[in-house]
Amino acid sequence: MPRGEAQRNLARALAGSGIESAQIDARVLLCAALEIEHAELICESASPLGAAGAEALQAFAMRRLRREPVARITGFREFWRSQFQIGPAVLDPRPETEALIEAVLESAKEHPRKAWRILDLGTGSGAILCSLLLSLPGSFGIGVDISPAACETARANVDSLELSQRGLIVCGNWAQALGGRFDLIVSNPPYVASRELRVLAPEVRDYDPRLALDGGEDGLSAYREIIPRLPELLAPGGLAAVEIGARQKSHVEALMQEALGPEVESHLDLGGRWRVVVARRGCPAGA
């Protein structure tokens, strides 16, 4: 079977099962099965699929039809101009989370520093930490996660992006084992209310680790644990930014204002949803 025909057949099968991204998924899975780039697929769409390619593609197709995300099938996710390894122990980074990076960099321009000391709480794959290290030259960062397996994945990403001289991954429960001050603290904590987990899309519900999703009875448990600790961890004039879920804006803003003061603002993602809350800790008088 020609490669192009195999791609079309797979796209039809995925669309028939209700997968909206069927065309893109079929292309990505075919390229992964053949271990080729998209450009080669375009130029050689009439080339035969081959026995090995057909076997690999069939295995990938069956996994996607069970609603396993493409990134989990290929093992990699594109996020903020870089490619990140992912695995069962980490959240699959969402495009919406790039709004957190954008909001932080926007605030960093308004309050520039030569060398940012960054703390990423619940780092998972390390995608947020690495993206900030790449975007803020001269910065140094620590990523913390309670899952040893997640820490292994994050370390692999730090190493693959050649950031090991500036990025450190620590296994621990939020910031309990940390001391010192940071200029920037970020987090994409679990924020889905426990009762809402069952109605999530199967790509999320069945494949993302519950530890990275379950935010307790009202989805705010992690914020109540993280935000009150910010005054002891955040340097004067420092920034704190967290991703939020639907209907959480006012609650998280109130927690931030109580902990750090009135300089709090929220940002929308590209879908028009409130996605990020950013707070700046005030400087002492005369500083």
The string of pLDDT tens digits covering residues 58-92 is: 999 999 999 999 999 999 999 999 999 999 999 99
Q: Are 270 and 96 in contact (CB under 8 A)?
A: yes
What pLDDT score was predicted for residue 287? 47
Amino acid at site 154: A
Residue 285 has pLDDT above 70, yes or no: no
Token digits for 82? 């870089």
Q: What is the pTM of this model?
A: 0.92
C-alpha 177/C-alpha 151 separation (Å) is 15
Mean pLDDT to the nearest integer, 16-43 = 94
The string of pLDDT tens digits covering residues 226-255 is: 999 999 999 999 999 999 998 999 999 999
For 109-138, the DSSP string reads: HHS--SS-EEEEET-TTSHHHHHHHHHSTT
Q: In whole numbers, what is the pLDDT of the chain averaged over residues?
A: 94
C-alpha 77/C-alpha 133 separation (Å) is 18
The string of pLDDT tens digits covering residues 162-219 is: 999 999 999 999 988 788 899 999 999 999 999 999 999 999 999 999 999 999 999 9
Q: Assign 282 a pLDDT band (cuts: 50, 70, 90).
A: confident
The string of pLDDT tens digits covering residues 203-230 is: 999 999 999 999 999 999 999 999 999 9
Q: Assign 286 a pLDDT band (cuts: 50, 70, 90).
A: very low
C-alpha 97/C-alpha 95 separation (Å) is 5
